[in-house]
């Protein structure tokens, strides 16, 4: 919670936070490690992959907010390499999953702010709240409002599952302004 409050205070002090301008509100080092294409990363880990040949990525399966997810074997239901493009450094991000979904910020807010949702905030939720506060000028737990479309142009959630069905755990990656802003386990 201290990091969250500090980040909001810092953002409030910086005039650049209120606008988009293509500058990430939050930077993270969750993807600092480098991995070769098809490295067989453990589930939950996301690494940077540079210099991969486009034909080695597999097929593009979903695109949102300037990011595209590629599936190395889209006919499979076992964990395998997935790649995401759209990052400011020009490199891909690689992770392992059996199933991947993308969700926009409006869907996230619709689920997160339901009165019936008693699930504790994850690190990804908390980081989203910092980003949302900077873009939308609203408090934690409050919908973005009129700026939701601007926020959603370069902010998206990617959810990775370790199995194709019957999975009660997952990892959520928050992509924002060309960086991985957060990665968090959900259970």
Q: What is the pLDDT of residue 7?
A: 39
Q: Is the pLDDT of residue 10 over 80?
A: no
Residues constituting the chain: 187
Q: What is the pLDDT of residue 21?
A: 58
How far is 36 from 27, CA to CA, in rounded Å?
Answer: 23
Q: What percent of the chain has pLDDT over 70?
A: 88
Q: What is the pLDDT of residue 29?
A: 85
Q: Is the pLDDT of residue 45 over 70?
A: yes
Structure-block tokens of residue 148:
């939701």
- Write out pLDDT tens, residues 103-146: 999 999 999 999 999 989 999 999 999 999 999 999 999 999 99
Q: Are 154 and 176 in contact (CB under 8 A)?
A: yes
Is the pTM here over 0.95, yes or no?
no
Q: What is the mean pLDDT of residues 15-41?
A: 76
Q: Are 35 and 48 in contact (CB under 8 A)?
A: yes
Longest dimension (CA), the chain: 49
Q: What is the pLDDT of residue 186?
A: 72
**Rounded (5°) CA angle 25-28-31:** 135
Where helices occur in the chain by DSSP H, the ranges are: 2-13, 105-112, 123-136, 148-152
Q: Is the pLDDT of residue 14 over 80?
A: no
Sign of the CA dihedral 184, 172, 118, 144? positive
Q: What is the pLDDT of residue 167?
A: 77
């Amino acid at each position: 919670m201290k990091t969250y409050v500090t980040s909001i205070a810092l953002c409030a002090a910086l005039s650049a936070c209120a606008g988009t301008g293509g500058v990430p509100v939050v930077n993270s080092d969750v993807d600092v490690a480098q991995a070769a294409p098809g490295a067989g990363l453990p589930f939950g880990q996301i690494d940077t992959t540079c210099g991969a040949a486009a034909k080695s990525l597999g097929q593009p399966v979903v695109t949102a907010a300037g990011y595209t997810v590629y599936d190395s074997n889209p006919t499979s239901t076992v964990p395998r390499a997935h790649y995401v493009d759209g990052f400011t450094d020009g490199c891909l991000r690689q992770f392992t999953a059996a199933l991947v979904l993308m969700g926009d910020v409006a869907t996230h807010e619709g689920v997160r702010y339901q009165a019936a949702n008693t699930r504790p905030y994850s690190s990804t939720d908390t980081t989203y709240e910092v980003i949302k506060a900077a873009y939308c000028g609203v408090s934690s737990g409050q919908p973005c409002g009129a700026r939701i479309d601007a926020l959603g142009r370069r902010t998206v959630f990617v959810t990775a599952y370790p199995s194709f069905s019957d999975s009660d755990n997952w990892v959520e990656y928050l992509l924002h302004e060309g960086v991985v802003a957060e990665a968090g386990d959900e259970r």
